Copies of this chain bind each other. A is one copy, B any other.
Amino acid sequence: MTNKCDSVSIGGLSKLTGCNIETIRYYEKASLMPAPARTEGGHRLYSKTLQRRLTFICKARRLGFTLQEVRSLLEMTDGGYSCDEVKQVVLNQLSVVRSKIEELARLESNLETMASQCSGGGLPHCAAVDSLFNMTD
């Protein structure tokens, strides 16, 4: 699974990163990962550099960046990028995340209200259902 140069197979890389095999191949096809070295028989071999690159992609995806955004983050690391440009992308993503949190907090309190209106019996009617359609946002 590993050779003397710390290269790993696609399965090894999958275990290291938590990214599934099909997804790794998909990233290669989508040009986020470069074509890796191959064994005699054609199996992919990933160097430490590529391992780090995939780790980066996975983290960025977990942070909610689109593949297009990840691509531009990677281009920033590959080519010349300015700190301003990076900060711009990060702050933009931060504001997206913050507004999602706000919206979810509103829904949370709406759901709490609904739950508190349930009398909880086996009755065929529930005040919470009516409140569902009357939520004020």
Contact = CB atoms under 8 A, between A and B. Distances in A.
Interface stretch (A2-10, A21-29, A36-44, A120-128): A120-128
Contact of A60 (B56, B77, B81, B132): B132
Q: How many copies of this kind of chain does the complex include?
A: 2
A82 interface: yes
A10 to B, nearest CB: 21
A60 B76 CA distance: 36
Main secondary structure of the interface of A (DSSP, over half): helix
Contacts of A110: 63
A108 B97 contact: yes
B83 A126 contact: yes
A62 to B, nearest CB: 6
A19 interface: no
A129 B93 CA distance: 14
Q: Which of A83, A108, A137 has the most CB of B within 10 A?
A: A83
Given A104-B100, A129-B77, A123 B83 contact: yes
A133 B96 CA distance: 20
Nearest to A65: B107
Given A87-B118, A97-B104, A101-B104, 11 more contacts: A56-B135, A62-B103, A63-B111, A64-B107, A76-B126, A82-B121, A82-B124, A83-B122, A83-B127, A86-B129, A87-B115
